[in-house]
Structure 1
Amino acid sequence: MSMVRVLLADDHTLVRTGLRKILEAMPDIAVVGEAGNGLQLLELAEQHRPDLVLMDIAMPGLNGLDATERLLHSQPQIRVLILSMHQNEEYVRKALRHGAVAYLLKDAALMELEQAIEVVLRGETYLSPAVSGGVLSDYVQRLRRDEPAQAALTARQSEVLKLIAEGLSTKEIARALDLSVKTVDTHRSQLMRQLDIHEVTGLVRYAMRVGLISP
């Protein structure tokens, strides 16, 4: 098994030091960098191309939620695990909407951290039992609403979605499909409305999930 490359993002040095020691004691885990804020995390992610990021929410400069969204816009294959002191369900929902695949409280036991990492590396979602409640149910229901929506996409919509997910600009998509820029914009708006996804990052993740593009 290849080593899992991990980045840590937390504005507390002692927290990062403790996490590093815990992670480096796990098999097949390599901590490739530490960031004290969201902007530094984005720089390190571009440099190291990690598989997994352990992300705090409350960080100076750029918080963990916004950093997650920006990170996944450029590297959608990365798995982001939020480590937070906030137990409020609204934080959990925001984390999921911004692209995180796991939410764990900082007072969780070591065994739970290991379990969460194992789950997300399998491509699944993990929520700490202390915060899940109705959040996981809401999230699953939204995913289920998304699935039939894909079947209802026209062939042209699927083409546009695929090219958006591959990172092409509106003008590039228009040239590739021999359409006007206005028509491509219309397709993009229809996709977002139909799939109830309102940012490009979400469209990328959706296209990956339904197999239009590979991670």
Structure 2
Amino acid sequence: MDTKVRRGRQPVDVLIVDDDGAARQQVRTTLHDCTDIQVAAETANAAEALEVLETVAADVALIGLTGTRRDVLETCRRITAHGSRPRAIMMATRTTPAAAVRAFDMGCHGFCRYGAGADALRIAIHSAHRGDGFLCPDVGRPIIDRYLKRISEGAQQRGSLTRRQREVLRMVAHGWRTKEIANALGLSIKTVESHRAAIMRRLGVSRVVELVHEAGRLGLGPPST
């Protein structure tokens, strides 16, 4: 990969935050030949990082997940709350979907594995610098698989509505009130309410607006927008 700096473009300034000196050295070594990225500073904790950011205009902060979970999450919170810069990337020795979710919940723009290599780290840094997200492939694939499984299971559940449930759902989506549905179908109000509750559980929704949206997706009501 060509790591030469494009003419007229400044390198991305990186701040490394990790209480493990060996881990910081590993990152510096990995980025050594990436001339479009430069390590502007490094610190051992959030307090030092915030102090450094008063004088160093770092674009991206690499935050190591080698300390205690509470300290790392606090570091992420304090740095991402600092402003639009730096954008944060959490780095971990053990990558799991749960850890990645926590990182993005804390405002990080990326989640990367230690030892991922210069190419992957370089892509992560430039993605965060642009404001995009980056997720290392070894944890990204399980998250995608889990998401696709939920979609598949949801489709199966939607397709398993009974004829009566689909009828009630169509009428709800078109604005019929519970009493009107009961009168039209010759049911009690309590039975209609039971059908609607069962439909909402089956579709995994909790509000009527979501129910109408799902009805549109199933071709049973106004199309979703």
TM-score bracket relative to the smaller structure: 0.5 to 0.7
**Structure 1 position 134, deviation (Å):** 5.5
Runs (5+) with no aligned partner, structure 1: 140-215
Alignment partner, residue 152 of structure 2:
none
Alpha carbons 1:52, 1:78 under 8 Å: kept: yes
SS at match of 1:63: helix
Alignment partner, residue 73 of structure 1:
81
Alignment partner, residue 18 of structure 1:
26
In structure 1, what is the Cα distance between the partners aligned to 2:118 and 2:37?
15
1:6 equivalent to 2:14? Answer yes
SS at match of 2:54: helix
Alignment partner, residue 167 of structure 1:
none
Higher alpha-carbon deviation: 56-65 or 101-110: 56-65
1:128 equivalent to 2:149? Answer no
CA RMSD of aligned residues (A): 2.5
Instruction: Calculate the TM-score normalised by the size of structure 1.
Output: 0.57
Query: Bigger radius of gyration, 1 or 2?
Result: 2
Aligned partner of 1:59 among 48, 63, 67:
67
In structure 2, what is the Cα distance between the partners aligned to 1:28 and 1:44?
22
Paired amino acid for 2:137? P
Closer/same/farther in 2, CA of residues 74 and 115 from structure 1, 3 Å limit: closer
Higher alpha-carbon deviation: 64-73 or 124-133: 64-73
Aligned partner of 2:116 among 108, 111, 119:
108
**Structure 1 position 102, deviation (Å):** 0.7
Instruction: Calculate the TM-score normalised by the size of structure 2.
Output: 0.54
Aligned partner of 2:57 among 35, 40, 49:
49
How many residues are treated as equivalent by the alignment? 139
Aligned partner of 2:100 among 92, 99, 102:
92
In structure 2, what is the Cα distance between the partners aligned to 1:87 and 1:71?
21
**Structure 1 position 137, deviation (Å):** 8.6
Aligned identity (percent) is 24
SS at match of 1:48: coil
Runs (5+) with no aligned partner, structure 2: 1-8, 148-225
